[in-house]
Amino acid sequence: MLLSITILSGCQIESEPPSELDKIKERGVLRVGTLNNQLSYYIGPDGSVGLDYELARKFADELGVKLEMTPAFRLSSLFPALEKGDIDVIAAGFSQSEQRLKKFRAGPAYYYVSQQLVYKKGQWRPRNIEQLVAKQIELKEQGDSSAVVKIVRGSHFESTLYQVQAEHPSFEFEIVDDSDVNDLLKDVANGDLLFTLADSVELSLTQRIYPDVALAFELTEDQPISWYMRKSEDESLYALMIEFFGFQKQSGDLATLEEKYIGHIGNFDYVDTRAFIRALDSKLPEWAPLFQKYADEFDWRLIAALAYQESHWNPVAKSPTGVRGMMMLTLPTAKSVGVTNRLDPEQSVKGGVEYLRRIVGRVPDSIPPHEKIWFALASYNVGYGHMMDARRLTRSQGGDLNAWADVKDRLPLLRKKQYYSKTRYGYARGDEARNYVENIRRYYQSIIGHVDQTQATEEDVSVDDLVVIPALEEAPEESPETETVEGEQSEATESSEP
């Protein structure tokens, strides 16, 4: 016995210390630091959502552990937390800056952004850094420091502006500790700050809430966005992360997630967005209770976005084509869902939601659940049969007929004879259907941001405030998919308007 104990003790002494991956598996929890914003992580009506959250959840599932998201209100607190070992990974949409790469290890790039100087529409706009520096010098001689660019401490903008200052010694900027990027963008929108920096995706998302913020000029080319971890000789976690992102790209899952969160942010319409933001304050409070009452399984903010696209929240809206009311229902559609008075907003909203529910129920189960709604909305606009034609066309061209990102690019082809002549239901204004859905997505994102802004408290969320999110239970296996596009039954074409 003594000899056995001695041998076992010797083996324990000589054994290698556990790797980073071993520690995470022993702990049973992957600790991920992130930011509370519309892209990385936020609490939606059905729980936690966000591009980085969904990727982190998949990664935790890959490791066979639970996920613990640690949201930080100030980005400057994330890297110290990683350095101290309070978190295992940062997943917050951070670029691969030279300064960060000196101390930390970056994972694979999963999208790209450029750094942009932001100003308020209607105010003086510099077209390049030379014009901005000249303006700063001019105002400084007058005792005015308002043109100083403000950025957040710990952001990737710091190293960029230090480089600018090295080339233009008169250039001035200020690093602030008591704000985040969104605070500074809001200050620009309110006219309290002339200039700040944002990345290209950040600016596009912010314009849905503050349409007056605009791009002055770009300071950098596109830069890779990555997760971060501690730099060490232990590559166990890093190796698995490379493998994980490689699979996400090859499988198309990463493209699907990016379409979900940032696929709608292009084609910014300043006039429309500004009118919509005004309506959020002047009209939405009156109609929000009605949307909430009848939304049922849908997010009421999505129903509100649909109603705005249809009627701009005008309960007595009328069209020369015969559609009426808040949800702009045709007479046959109204009768089919029990609406007797289309100009009654309560009946219209209730009937519009019921009609949408029926369409969602027809959308093939082969389409991912979170994308079914976009296919349903396209059908709501152009007709179910035409939507299915677009799916067939997508497949014939080698695209994924179950991915909205692929199908939405084929919808406009239904206007062209060389394509619609070969479809089952012929000509359709598919480009309008695509714009219809993408507009609703943008309105929806704006409503989410607006509601979050009005409900926000003064209390900051610090990196020490943990939000523990257990790994989701594994979804039950679905029965083998039997739906095929060609075999779809009863694809009766509806009117191009519901």
Q: What is the token pair recorded at 76? A: 């400057």
- 310 among known catalytic residues: yes
Q: How far apart are CA 291 and CA 353, in angstroms?
A: 9
Asked if residues 310 and 327 have their Cβ atoms less than 8 Å apart, the reply is yes
User: Which of 373, 328, 376 is CA-nearest to residue 352?
Assistant: 328
Give rounded-to-5 percent helix, strand, coil for the chain: 50, 15, 35
- Quickly tell me which residue has 């890959």 as its tokens: 62
Q: How far apart are CA 78 and CA 409, in angstroms?
A: 39
Question: Within 10 A of 487 (CB to CB), how many other CB atoms are there?
Answer: 7
Asked if residues 350 and 341 have their Cβ atoms less than 8 Å apart, the reply is no
Give whole-number Cα distances, 330 to 48, 201, 347, 427, 434, in Å: 37, 38, 13, 20, 20
Beta bridge partners of 215: 118
Q: What is the DSSP letter of 473?
A: P
- Would you tell me the crossing angle of helices 345-362 and 369-382 to the nearest 10 degrees? 120
Give whole-number Cα distances, 452 to 131, 240, 398, in Å: 37, 35, 40
Question: Within 10 A of 67 (CB to CB), how many other CB atoms are there?
Answer: 22
Among candidate residues 202, 259, 310, 494, the one labeled active-site is 310
Q: What is the token pair recorded at 1? A: 């016995």
Asked if residues 65 and 22 have their Cβ atoms less than 8 Å apart, the reply is no
Run of H or E residues at 95:
strand 89-95
Q: What is the token pair recorded at 363? A: 């959308």
Give whole-number Cα distances, 157 to 118, 168, 223, 491, in Å: 12, 16, 12, 53
Q: What is the token pair recorded at 443? A: 């309105």
358-393 exposure pattern, b = at least 16 Cβ within 10 A, e = fewer: ebbebbbeebeeebbbbbbbbbbbbbbbbbbbbbbb
Query: Which residues are part of the catalytic machinery?
Result: 310
